[in-house]
Amino acid sequence: MMMKFTILAAFVFSFALATGSSGQAQEIEVEKVFKFYCAQCHGVSGKGDGPNVTEDFPVSPRNFTNAAEMNKLTNADIKNVVMDGGPSMSKSPMMPPWSKTLSEAEVDALIGHLRVLCNCKGKEG
């Protein structure tokens, strides 16, 4: 009986460890993906101030920390613009289409990250 309990406890403990580490890994990966692909225009902290935003840059990349602006967008709007680029939402072609570069799971994770940056839930829809 004691043996069975020990095995069960060990199983539960390792499951909890695995779940915890995988949850954390997912979060770190999203930040890494954001910094690698998005920060060049949107900035490391998402304020729209990446190194590409020179005085000649034709548009202002979205500031993800602006909750009022981010609340005007549904998650589906964001997904469209990330996957298919600015023109898919009548925005600037400076926003690239990432559909052939990022997986859908990475884009979904990025949307979650943007919602953390804006501390907002966005428009429903």
Partner 1 sequence: MKLTSALLLALALTLWSLPGHADTAAGEAAFTANDCTACHYTDGPAKEKTIDDQLAKKGPELWYAGSKFQREWLEAWLQDPAPIRQMKFNSVTEFNAGDHPKLAAGDAANMADYLMSLTSDAVEAGVVKPKKNAKGRLIFTKKMPCSGCHQYEGRKKKLVGGRSGPSLVGAGMRLNPDWIYAYLLKPEIFKPVKAMPVFIGLLSEKDMKNVASYVANFK
Residue 45 has which token pair? 């902290």
Q: Cβ of residue 81: shortest distance to partner 1, in angstroms? A: 12
Distance CA 31, CA 40 (A): 13
Q: Do 118 and 67 form a contact (C-beta atoms < 8 A)?
A: yes
**Residues 46-75 interacting with partner 1 (rule: CB under 8 A):** 50-52, 54, 56-57
Out of 23, 90, 100, 124, name the contact with partner 1 by CB under 8 A.
Answer: 100
- When asked if residue 33 is in the footprint of partner 1 (CB under 8 A), the reply is yes
**Residues 3-32 interacting with partner 1 (rule: CB under 8 A):** 32
- When asked if residue 112 is in the footprint of partner 1 (CB under 8 A), the reply is no
Distance CA 42, CA 53 (A): 8
